[in-house]
Structure 1
C-alpha cells in the first residue's frame, strides 16, 4: 500500500477570490473595526488640490462638503456671492455662500440637467414664478428669497442674473461635486419642468391638473446625469465629476406607502446610478459618504433622535475619510479641526439641515 508521501499532491484549486486585497473581504475589512478604522475605504480617481477650481451643488448634505472644503483651503468657486454689506448668516438665509452659485438645493439629476440646459439657452422653464401672500417667488429655487419679491418681473430679472452666473461657473470649473438627494419630485405636466419642492410648500398652490408627482427611476436618473455630463463637456471638455449620495432619509413620501421603504427605494436607485456612472466614466468618481453614515456596522450612532439629521460626528468622519485621500493645502487641516472644536457641534449641523433644506418643511404638513 502506497504511503501518503508517495501520492501526488492535489493541485491548488483556483478561485478568482484567492489572494485578493484584504479590503475586499468583510471579515478583514469591516468585522471588529470601528467606523473610523476602515482602511482603504476610498481610493481617489483623480487629484484635487489647492489649484483645482471646485463647484458644489446638490441636496442638503452637499452643504457640509462645500463648507468643509472651504475651511481646509480648497478653491471652492462662488460665482454668485452675497453683497459685501451682508453678513454671512444673513447671506446664507438668502441662498448665498452655500453652493457655487445661488441655486438653492438641487435634489434631482433632472433638476440639475434642466438648470444647465437653461444656462446654455436650450430650455426656458414653464410656470417659473409662484406667489404667496402677494409676494413672488422663483419656483425653481423658492427658498432663496424667504419673503419673496415685489413683482414677477423682479423674479425674472434675478433669475436671468442667476442663470448667467451658472453659465460662467460651467466655463471655469475643474471638478464638479454633486450630491444626489431624492428621486421623488413634482413636475409641470405640460412642459416637464421639475421643481425642488412641491407647489404649496413654500409658495404656489398645488393643482393636480397642472402638476404631477414623479418618482424618478434608475433609467431616468442615469440618463439625466449622462446628459448633464455631456452638456458640461460641450463647453468645458476637461471637467471631472465627484458624486456622492446623501444619507439623509426622506422627510415625507408622496408615493402613498410607508416613508421607510420609500427612503430605501430612493437611496437604492441613487446609489446604483452613482456606482454605474463611476464604473463607466473615467472622469466620474464616487465617494461613499452614504455608506459611512448608514451602514449597519455603524449602528444608528450618526443620526440624532429624529433618525434624519446627521450628527456632527458623522459629518466629521465622512470628511476625514475624504480628506485622507484629497489632502488639504498645507496647514489648513489643523485650522479646520480647531474651528470644529470651537463651534457647538449639534447646533452646527441641525441648524444647517433645518434652515437650508426645503424638504424638511414637508414635516409641517404631517400629523
Structure 2
C-alpha cells in the first residue's frame, strides 16, 4: 500500500475534475479555522473584493461596513462614492504594497518609535483639477472631488479611523489580491492605486515610476500587513484570496495574457505560502473557482474580465460549504451600521462593480486584428 491508495476522490484529477459536473465539484476548500454566522467579517482589496461583502451579507454572514454612507444619499450616489463595496472606503486596493500602506497609515500608533519611518506617516499629497481636490490614493472614491485640500485629508482620516475600528472588531479579515503591477512616487516611495493621469492627476515621467513586485516583495508586504493587524487584534484570522479579474492592461511591455498569468501566479504562490507558514492565515480559491478551465470561461461576461452573477453565486456556495453553513438559506442581510442594505450581487451589473483600472481601456486605440 502506498500513500496514494488512501487518498479521497478529490485528490485525483480524473475523478475530481475531468469526470465531475463542473457545477458540482466539491471539497475545493477545507478551512484552516472555523468561521460562523456570528463572526464579524471585514473585506478589503481589489475590485473583486467589492463583490464579497454584499455577497456574504446576502447569505446571512455578518459582514461589517465600518464606514457606512451618510443619510440622504441615493443608491447611485452611494455606489459612485464607493459606500457599501468594501468595509472601508479605500477604493480598490489591488496590490500587496498598497494594502500594507493603508494598514500602516491606519495602525501606525501600534508601532514603536524605532519602527516608524516616513512611509508610516500619512501623506500630505493632494491632486487639484478645475478648482476641486482629489485623494491620489483613492482618486475614484469621490467623483466630484472635495472643496479644499484639507477636506481631502479629513476624509482620508475618517477612512483610517474606520480601518482601525474594523480591524479591532473583526473575527476575520478577507484580503483580495489583484495584481503585482503598480505605480510609485519616486520621491516618497508611496504606491498609487492606479497610474497618475488615468483616473485623476497628471503623469510625471520623472516622478512616477512603474514597479512590478516580486514574489519576495509581495510576501514581505503581506507578512507586515497581517502582523500589524494582529497587533491591534491578536485573535484576528486572515483569509487571503486572489481576484479572478484579469489585468485591464500591463505596463511591462509584454503581452497582457502572459503578464496576467505571471501576476496572478505570484499572488497565488505567496497566498499559499503564508497559509502554510501561519496558523491564523488561510487561502480561499476564488481564483480557481472562476477561472478553472473545466468551467470554460462561462463565469465571465463577454469582456472576459467581469465575473457573472453565476460565478459569484458558485464561489459563495463553495465558501459556505467549506464552513459547513447551509447554502440557500438567506435571512435578512446582516451588516452593522449600514443605513441601507448593499445592492445584492444577483442584481448587480458590471458597472456597479467597475474596477478603477477599467479606465485603462480608454487608452486602447488599436483595432482588433482579424482572425487568421
- What TM-score do the two structures reach when normalised by structure 1? 0.89
- Of residues 70, 86, 92, the one that matches 1:99 is 86
Give 1:327 shift: 4.9
Contact 2:248 2:358 in 1 (8 A): yes
Separation in structure 2 between the aligned mates of residue 170 and residue 64 of structure 1, nearest angstrom:
19
What is aligned with 1:271?
268
- Of residues 106, 126, 138, the one that matches 1:119 is 106
Give 1:324 shift: 1.3
Matches within 5 A, 1:133-282: 133-282=130-279
What is aligned with 1:7?
none
Separation in structure 1 between the aligned mates of residue 166 and residue 139 of structure 2, nearest angstrom:
21
* Higher RCO (CA-CA < 8 Å; seq separation 6+): 2
1:288–1:99 CA distance, 2 compared to 1 (3 A): same
Matches within 5 A, 1:290-329: 290-327=287-324
Structure 1 residues 275-301: Cα deviation after superposition (integer angstroms, max 9, x where no partner): 111111111111111111111111121
1:26 aligns with 2:5: no
- Of residues 42, 65, 77, the one that matches 1:90 is 77
Separation in structure 2 between the aligned mates of residue 364 and residue 204 of structure 1, nearest angstrom:
16
Moved more, 248-257 or 322-331: 322-331
Structure 1 residues 250-298: Cα deviation after superposition (integer angstroms, max 9, x where no partner): 1011111111101111111111111111111111111111111111111
What is aligned with 1:358?
356
Q: Aligned residues, how many?
A: 346
1:343–1:97 CA distance, 2 compared to 1 (3 A): closer
What is aligned with 1:44?
31
Separation in structure 2 between the aligned mates of residue 184 and residue 108 of structure 1, nearest angstrom:
7
Give 1:317 shift: 0.9
Separation in structure 2 between the aligned mates of residue 29 and residue 329 of structure 1, nearest angstrom:
22
Contact 1:127 1:188 in 2 (8 A): no
Separation in structure 1 between the aligned mates of residue 222 and residue 349 of structure 2, nearest angstrom:
28
Structure 1 residues 310-346: Cα deviation after superposition (integer angstroms, max 9, x where no partner): 122111111111111235589843778xxxxx9895x
Give 1:90 shift: 1.6
SS at 1:142 equivalent: coil
Separation in structure 1 between the aligned mates of residue 201 and residue 361 of structure 2, nearest angstrom:
18
Structure 2 runs not aligned, ≥5 long? 109-115, 334-342, 366-372
Separation in structure 2 between the aligned mates of residue 331 and residue 323 of structure 1, nearest angstrom:
10
- Of residues 50, 66, 77, the one that matches 1:63 is 50
SS at 1:36 equivalent: helix
Contact 1:116 1:228 in 2 (8 A): yes
SS at 2:258 equivalent: helix
SS at 1:46 equivalent: coil
Give 1:145 shift: 0.4
Separation in structure 1 between the aligned mates of residue 154 and residue 308 of structure 2, nearest angstrom:
39
SS at 1:254 equivalent: coil
Separation in structure 1 between the aligned mates of residue 145 and residue 183 of structure 2, nearest angstrom:
21
Contact 1:183 1:270 in 2 (8 A): yes
Moved more, 196-205 or 130-139: 130-139
Separation in structure 2 between the aligned mates of residue 166 and residue 41 of structure 1, nearest angstrom:
31
Separation in structure 2 between the aligned mates of residue 77 and residue 335 of structure 1, nearest angstrom:
14
- Of residues 271, 289, 293, the one that matches 2:286 is 289
Separation in structure 2 between the aligned mates of residue 297 and residue 286 of structure 1, nearest angstrom:
21
Pairwise CA RMSD: 2.1
Structure 1 runs not aligned, ≥5 long? 1-13, 337-341
Separation in structure 2 between the aligned mates of residue 169 and residue 313 of structure 1, nearest angstrom:
29
Moved more, 80-89 or 276-285: 80-89
Contact 1:54 1:176 in 2 (8 A): yes
